[in-house]
Amino acid sequence: MPIPALCASEHLKDVKYEIRGALARRAEELERDGYDVIKLNIGNPGAFGFRMPETMRVAMVQNLHQADPYSHQKGIFPAREAVVMQQQDRGVMDVSAEDVFIGNGVSELIMMAMRALLNPGDEVLVPSPDYPLWTASVVIHGGKAVHYPCRPENGFVPDPAEIAALVTERTRAIVVINPNNPTGAVYDRSVLEQIAAIAEAKHLVLFADEIYDEMLYDDASYVPMATIARNCLCATMSGLSKVYRACGLRVGWVSFSGKKAHAQAYIDAIELLASLRLCSNVPGQHAVQTALGGHQSIFELTGPGGRLFETRQAIIDGVAASPYMSVVAPRGAMYAFIRVDGSQFAGGFNDQRFALDLLEDEHVLVAPGTSFNVPYHDHFRVTLLPDAKQMREVMARMDRVLKTYAEA
């Protein structure tokens, strides 16, 4: 008698994370066959030679003798207190160490935050395009992700009126990703104020994903949502992965500010979940205080002459020289969301097909735009992590593939 098929959980039916999906697996096969693949699908600084600040390494090494036991479920006190001090420096004065949770990256905290909040059928307003973990975490926990558009023609900045129109009696929260992944948009204060006003009027939780908070270009200015959202529960999420180039440490945090008294049962539920997983990575937690209190080396990378700045410029220049591509210049984060003019090709343009052709023919791996929960098929995302010389070569390879479409 045949063994019945072992099926995946129904919870995962509508969950996708194509950034590490079929294209990434094909890239691994090509590498095993001896090809060098330029992987622009993931914001992974260490894979491109970036290193965390040396002071963070020293802090971990010097505290390894304290890292054998579990820590408190919320994290070690010095790390949580460092987050408090950062928030206070930004003008958020109603946060204490008790309001901070350290997690195994922001990813774990997103999952915990949704698991503690959602009942079947509850809705969360999520940007489109989004970082797909947000949509996935809502769906996995029985909720419905309602996407509010961040339109290319508006520089990928959302229209607060469109967000307000999507609020229903089942809406529980609004997610704001600023600076934005995947588009690089940075939201002005007025936009954030209007979104905060919606959350306050409707008694919604505001999830502020600010993992790229200090990663800015040109005249862009980062405004912490917690400095605006005073009259609702605001959960600010950040970590060491991006600004501090320490993805492998898996250290993130969430701090709760604003109105908290009515949300104590929810915050207690997050602590319960934190307790069930015992604690987050302890050695990495010892780098938090040094990271947040020390010299902010990211500014040397994002300013003129810095590596991220120059690679961003190489993308902008490469797109400008291409007859096929356009881009809204990223003002923050470490990505560009590039558009292709499909009207120039007889069969139109499909982001999935392009990503596969680019991988097979030119050995460059990008993330199709539809990976980020958008309804259109004419965008793709690249990281700014290669140096400018390599990125100029990448842009030339992209143009070669697109030229074959035009000539077909």
| Cβ atoms of 406 and 345 closer than 8 Å | yes
Claim to verify: residue 366 and residue 307 sit in the same structural domain: yes
**What is the domain range of residue 336?**
13-42+303-407
Give yes or no for residue 294 having a pLDDT over 90.
no
Alpha helices in 203-294 (DSSP H): 264-276, 282-285, 288-293
User: Is the bond into 330 cis (omega within 30 degrees of 0)?
Assistant: no
**pLDDT band per the 50, 70, 90 thresholds, residue 286:** very high
In a domain, 391, yes or no: yes
Residue 67: predicted pLDDT: 94
Contact criterion met (CB below 8 Å) for 234 and 318: no
Give the 3-state secondary structure of residue 304: coil
Q: What is the pLDDT of residues 125-176, one digit of tens each?
A: 999 999 999 999 999 999 999 999 999 999 999 999 999 999 999 999 999 9
In terms of Cβ atoms closer than 10 Å to its own Cβ (0-12, 13-18, 19+), residue 235 is: buried
**What percentage of residues in the chain have a pLDDT greater than 90?**
94
- The answer to the question of residue 384 being in a domain is yes
Cβ neighbours of residue 396 under 8 Å, at least 6 residues apart? 318
The answer to whether residues 135 and 111 touch, using CB atoms and an 8 Å cutoff, is no
**Does 277 share its domain with 325?**
no
* Domain assignment present for 368: yes
Q: Which of 293, 321, 354 is the last residue of a domain?
A: 293
- The CATH number of residue 134's host domain is 3.40.640.10
Q: pLDDT band at residue 380, thresholds of 50, 70 and 90?
A: very high
The H or E element spanning position 128 is strand 123-128
User: Looking at the structure, do residues 206 and 124 belong to the same domain, yes or no?
Assistant: yes
Say yes or no to pLDDT of 122 above 90. yes
Task: Give this prediction's pTM.
Answer: 0.95
Q: Are residues 344 and 242 in the same domain?
A: no
What does R_g of the chain's alpha carbons equal in angstroms?
21
- Whether residue 23 is predicted with pLDDT greater than 90 in this model: the reply is yes
Calculate the average pLDDT of the chain: 96
Residues 113 and 234 reside in one and the same domain:
yes
Q: Of 263, 293, 323, which marks where a domain is finished?
A: 293
Q: What is the mean pLDDT of residues 209-231?
A: 97
CATH number at residue 320: 3.90.1150.10
Cβ atoms 260, 290 nearer than 8 A? no
Let me know whether 263 and 350 are in one domain. Answer: no
2 domain-assigned: no
Q: What is the pLDDT of residue 236?
A: 98
How many domains, in total, are found in the chain? 2
Q: For a pLDDT cut of 70, what percent of the chain falls above it?
A: 100
Q: What does the pLDDT read at residue 347? A: 84
Please check the confidence at residue 291 and state whether its pLDDT lies above 90. Answer: yes
Q: Identify the pLDDT of residue 293.
A: 93
Final residue of a structural domain among 258, 293, 328: 293
174 found inside a domain: yes
pLDDT of residue 20: 85
